[in-house]
Amino acid sequence: MSASDHDRVRQANLSPDKIMHKLVSLAKRRGFVFPSSEIYGGLSSCFDYGPLGSEMKKNVKDLWWNSMTRKHDNIVGIDASIMMNPTVWEASGHVSSFNDPMIDDKTTKRRYRADHLIENHIEKLRKEKREEDARRVGTYYERASESEDPNKAFYDIIVAEEIKAPDTGSADWTEVRQFNLMFQCNMGALADSSGIVYLRPETAQGIFVNFHNVRESSRMRVPFGIAQIGKAFRNEIVKGNFIFRMVEFEQMEMQYFVKPGDQQEAFEAWREERFSWYTDRLGIDREKLHWYRHDKLAHYADLAYDIKFSFPFGVEEIEGIHSRTDFDLRQHQEFSGKNMEYIDQATGERYIPYVVETSAGCDRLFLALLCDAYTEDVVDGEERVMMKFSPKIAPVKAAVLPLMKKGEMGEKAARFRESLSESFPVQYDESGSIGKRYRRQDEIGTPYCFTIDHQTIEDGTVTARWRDTATQERIDMTKAGEFLGAKLA
Ligand code: GAP
């Protein structure tokens, strides 16, 4: 049985709810993720990263940043502001089109996505083996989506099919209305519409509006890319599944500018590179990753694929790869009155570049990494929970565990920890039995435990225990940094 088969067997015994429950509890107990402002009862879909979570998230972001900007000498990074001139969002189409069709239940005052209600209804018909009904409603739904007035058409389907609210069974529906997902706030002293600014719903626009600034200051030539990591905000109505869908989240986006006509080739190359980043760099199980091609496209895209991950609650998107054409730069040219063309120095050609975008959600990826890593197994006759993180992203790289707190052993261990922590995040643990200390480290995914024992005093060696197999080898303590560095490369 391979290691990943073993994980699946372990996880297969647990229901999706149970796995999520265990993960949420571990995340809080060990300091990965806390509910936001918990002492006040929290805030829906908002979370805080704890000491281990913030360390691990930083590792993920660093890996992404380096794989974009260091690995490609034609990609540079920026850090744009969250609030921008509001015309940006008119030009990008977000003011007019970044909407979801919502319907309210008048009795319970709860709000739902109308399209999701219909999609779930079709799914339910399929599960009940009512294929013909599912096809019939599916055809209505397709027509409704493309009709002049999709809101009315969605409403008619919901009423005709007697679709009920999934959580309450009630069906006292309002009409369907479009609900804009952007958060609005007011800048300055006046609370009128002249001060409206938006919290950015994607980081991408900060890149588009800086196209010429970056190109000129960094002397970039097409094809080139601009990368950015930053917060984005969406007033999501459908929430849940822990940190999967949040109202405040982080994106890792890269916009790659190409000559019109070259976008297909760039799209395919980025598709391949991004997929293998998850398997080769992050060590995610290949079988848990899937491609999905969009039929319904966002207002800016002419081709879009998602990389999806098998979460315990279903197969869901973690990254989108979009061919955005010249939509954004052209729109900004029109709305700002500034020329967004690129002039090819060699040929004198002028054009507005096309864009291939890779857009990953850092928090969703974080959740995928938690789900992928969660393992229950038995070592030395004892059950344990292990987070099988790739050593590259593990928040703590090694633990130093002295068999005795005091005397020469304790002193050697303290010095050893000090020297290792110059280069690595290291934990020092001297309390409890050695078995308990191993379990504590396994549960947070620490790849290596170095134990200082009697032999260390005699010959300066320590045991190095590898988390996944619990196997141990003796190494010279002066070589431990090198040993660890090689394992993390
Ligand atoms: N610039 C393109 C763009 O924003 P998107 O597919 O809407 O595309 C990209 O978002 C990624 O951002 C998604 O694949 C997902 O990982 C993440 N994301 C989107 N909405 C999110 C939310 N409410 N909570 C957490 N992550 C989210």
pLDDT tens column, 280-319: 999 999 999 999 999 888 878 889 999 999 999 999 999 9
User: Is the C-beta atom of 115 inside 6 A of ligand 1?
Assistant: no
Tell me if 383 is assigned to some domain. Answer: no
Average pLDDT, the chain: 94
**Whose CA is closest to atom 9 on ligand 1?**
359
Percentage with pLDDT > 70 across the chain: 97
128 and 251 in a single domain? The answer is: no
Q: How far is the CA of 214 from the centre of ligand 1 (A)?
A: 24
Tell me if 284 is assigned to some domain. Answer: yes
Structure confidence at residue 489 (pLDDT): 85
Q: Which atom of ligand 1 is nearest to the CA of 319?
A: 14
Tell me if 190 is assigned to some domain. Answer: yes
Tell me if 44 is assigned to some domain. Answer: yes
Q: Give the mutation target among 60, 251, 252, 305 for probing the ligand 1 site: most ligand atoms within 8 A of CB.
A: 251
Q: Is the pLDDT of residue 192 over 80?
A: no
90 and 103 in a single domain? The answer is: no
Q: Is the pLDDT of residue 330 over 80?
A: yes
Q: Give the mutation target among 94, 249, 321 for probing the ligand 1 site: most ligand atoms within 8 A of CB.
A: 249
The per-residue pLDDT for range 128-155, each reduced to its tens digit, is: 999 999 999 999 999 998 899 999 999 9
Question: Is residue 1 very low, low, confident or very high in pLDDT (cuts 50, 70, 90)?
Answer: very low
Q: Is the pLDDT of residue 191 over 70?
A: no
261 and 410 in a single domain? The answer is: no
Question: Is residue 377 very low, low, confident or very high in pLDDT (cuts 50, 70, 90)?
Answer: very high
Q: Tokens 């850090």 map to which residue? A: 79
Tell me if 389 is assigned to some domain. Answer: no
248 and 357 in a single domain? The answer is: yes
Q: How far is the CA of 360 from the centre of ligand 1 (A)?
A: 7
- What mean pLDDT do residues 453-470 have? 96
354 and 421 in a single domain? The answer is: no
Tell me if 388 is assigned to some domain. Answer: no
- Residue at a domain's end among 372, 387, 404: 372
Tell me if 6 is assigned to some domain. Answer: no
172 and 299 in a single domain? The answer is: no
281 and 334 in a single domain? The answer is: yes
Residue type at 330 in one-letter notation: R
Tell me if 273 is assigned to some domain. Answer: yes
User: Is the C-beta atom of 204 inside 6 A of ligand 1?
Assistant: yes
Q: Is the pLDDT of residue 3 over 90?
A: no
**Whose CA is closest to atom 19 on ligand 1?**
361
User: Is the C-beta atom of 364 inside 6 A of ligand 1?
Assistant: yes
Structure confidence at residue 9 (pLDDT): 46
Kind of pairing, strands 398-402 and 426-428?
parallel
Q: Which atom of ligand 1 is nearest to the CA of 317?
A: 14
Structure confidence at residue 2 (pLDDT): 47
Q: How far is the CA of 361 from the centre of ligand 1 (A)?
A: 5
Structural domain boundaries, residue 479: 396-488
- Identify whether the C-beta of residue 322 lies closer than 8 Å to the C-beta of residue 356: yes
162 and 256 in a single domain? The answer is: no
For the domain that residue 132 is a member of, what is the CATH number?
3.30.40.230
Contact residues for 450 (Cβ-Cβ < 8 A; gap 6+): 398, 399, 400, 401, 416, 420, 462, 463, 464, 465, 477, 480
The per-residue pLDDT for range 382-412, each reduced to its tens digit, is: 899 999 999 999 999 999 999 998 889 999 9
- Residue at a domain's end among 177, 195, 210: 177
Using alpha carbons only, give the angle 419, 422, 426 rounded to the nearest 5 degrees: 80
298 and 220 in a single domain? The answer is: yes
**Whose CA is closest to atom 17 on ligand 1?**
361
**Whose CA is closest to atom 5 on ligand 1?**
320
Structure confidence at residue 11 (pLDDT): 60
Reported pTM: 0.92
Q: How far is the CA of 255 from the centre of ligand 1 (A)?
A: 15
User: Is the C-beta atom of 246 inside 6 A of ligand 1?
Assistant: yes
**Whose CA is closest to atom 4 on ligand 1?**
202
Q: How far is the CA of 353 from the centre of ligand 1 (A)?
A: 24
User: Is the C-beta atom of 228 inside 6 A of ligand 1?
Assistant: no
Mean pLDDT lowest among 1-10, 152-161, 324-333, 469-478: 1-10
For the domain that residue 420 is a member of, what is the CATH number?
3.40.50.800
Total count of domains within the chain: 3
For the domain that residue 313 is a member of, what is the CATH number?
3.30.930.10
232 and 250 in a single domain? The answer is: yes
